[in-house]
Every structure is written in C-alpha cells, then in structure tokens.
C-alpha cells in the first residue's frame, strides 16, 4: 500500500496530501510498466 511504500522510502506519510502525491507517482510507474498494480490497490515489482 502507499503508506508502506512511503515508510520504506522514508517519505512522510502522516499527511494525506503527501500520500496522494506518492500514490500518483506509483500509478504513473505502474502505467509505464515499472510496477504492477494489484486489484486490491497494492503495488508490487513482480
């Protein structure tokens, strides 16, 4: 989930706006094929 990814990357995730920015970036990476977005809104590299 976005919160878990942000915590692993050291990005501030306590503010909803910061999570939404990160979610947008993750979605763009998924669109480009760098990540895979699962149906339950999780992201994976596999």
Q: Are 12 and 18 in contact (CB under 8 A)?
A: yes
pLDDT score recorded for residue 45: 85
Find the angle CA(9)-CA(10)-CA(15) to the nearest 5 degrees: 110
pLDDT score recorded for residue 22: 93
pLDDT score recorded for residue 46: 79
Asked if pLDDT for residue 23 goes beyond 90, the answer is: yes
Alpha-carbon distance of 17 to 46, in angstroms, equals 27
Asked if pLDDT for residue 36 goes beyond 90, the answer is: yes
Q: How confident is the model at residue 5 (pLDDT cuts 50, 70, 90)?
A: confident
pTM for the model stands at 0.81
pLDDT score recorded for residue 37: 92
Distance of CA 16 to the CA centre of its chain: 13
């Amino acid at each position: 989930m976005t919160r878990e990814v942000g915590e692993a990357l050291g990005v501030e995730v306590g503010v909803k706006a910061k999570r939404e920015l990160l979610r947008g970036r993750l979605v763009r990476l998924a669109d480009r094929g760098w990540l895979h977005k699962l149906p339950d809104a999780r992201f994976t590299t596999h």
